[in-house]
Amino acid sequence: MVWTQYGPPGVLRLQDVDRPVPRADELLIGVHATAVTAGDCELRGLRFSLGLRLRVRLMMGPMRPRHKVLGQEFAGEVAEVGPAVTDFASGDQVFGTTGVRFGAYAEYICLPQRSRGSALTNKPANMSYDEAVTVPTGGLGALHFLRRAGDLRGRKVLIIGAGGGIGAFAVQLAKHFGAEVTGVDRSEKLDLLRSIGADRVIDYTREDFTQRDECYDVIFDVVGKTAFSARISRLNPQGRYLWGNPGPSATARGLGTSMRGGRKVIRGASRQKTEDLVFLRELIEAGRIRTVIDQRFPLEEIADAHRYFEGGVARGCVVITL
């Protein structure tokens, strides 16, 4: 699915391209499933602040994108390995992330067996390709931020946007780490949140959690739409505010809060590391966490999948099948 220019979902077009050839340290992976992520949508439409938008254009292409295929996560089967590959063999079932290479919106992709900017390991034995592909971006993002909050045992954790791709993993991981979890999302997602372990749920369309007389040790804000001053007021004096996607002004306010001591605002991009993906795979195989899929779209309907994802109503992940 070729990314022809910056813009709305319609800029994604189905085309035939050359099958990639693996280098000595690379794997050729036949992609069975990929997914729509916020990163793919933001990059496709250049939905960034002005300063970041200019930097992205310089990196990706000033007028049109140089990287012709989007897609950050995949699950598939190794079709071929280069002569220097020692960790994998043809026929292995794998899943992971591509990092800034992108390229997963295609039938084949080449990736190095080890890279600091991506994650790759064997697929969980108890998951299909469709299920496994939802883990890398959402699972790694949730794990990255929750670990930065410190020991969660016995702590009260509030997750804003708990019914999305990252939020659903955050609920399950916070419970695994021993926290008492409250999930905030739309009414139609509340049953889902209860089913994956949330102790309490709040329907933000009917109730503003910032008006409650209750504070939390950790707030994980996946969405970032409520007024910052109201949200931070619901944090305990030594609490941690995990901010997955703040804008420039929000970043500055968060830094100011952290510098005053007490409450800390933790922000920034999550790191994609293979050892963390292995950790998640082990939890999945032990039955401790599961994936949540809202809808599946075939590759040729990926523009519709992007439109659906950007509507904000998805419960869990939006998967693309090949």
**What letters, b where the CB count within 10 A reaches 16 and e where it falls short, cover 77-114?**
ebbbbbeebeebeeebbbbbbbeebbbbbbebbbbbbe
Residue ranges matching CATH 3.40.50.720 in the chain: 137-267
With H, G, I as helix, E, B as strand and everything else as coil, classify residue 69.
strand
The pTM assigned to this predicted structure is: 0.92
Q: CA-based angle 44:62:104, to the nearest 5? A: 35
Reported CATH class of domain 137-267: alpha beta
Given a cut of 70, whether residue 135 has pLDDT beyond it is yes
Please tell me whether residue 304 adopts helix, strand or coil conformation. helix
Domain with CATH 3.90.180.10 in the chain: 2-134+291-321
Q: Across all residues in the chain, what is the average pLDDT?
A: 92
Contact 88, 81 (CB under 8 A): yes
CATH match for 2-134+291-321 among 3.40.449.10, 3.50.30.30, 3.90.180.10, 2.60.120.200: 3.90.180.10
pLDDT in tens, 58-77: 988 999 998 799 999 999 99
pLDDT tens digits, 144-158: 999 999 999 999 999
- Residue 194's Cβ-count burial label (10 Å; 0-12, 13-18, 19+) is middle
- Cβ neighbors of 255 (< 8 A, separation 6 or more) are 265
Q: Which pLDDT does position 247 carry in this prediction?
A: 53
72-130 pLDDT tens trace: 999 999 999 999 999 999 999 999 999 888 999 999 999 999 988 899 999 999 999 99
The beta strand positions in the chain, using DSSP E, are 2-3, 12-13, 26-35, 73-81, 93-97, 108-112, 119-122, 156-160, 180-185, 200-203, 216-221, 235-243, 264-267, 293-298, 317-321
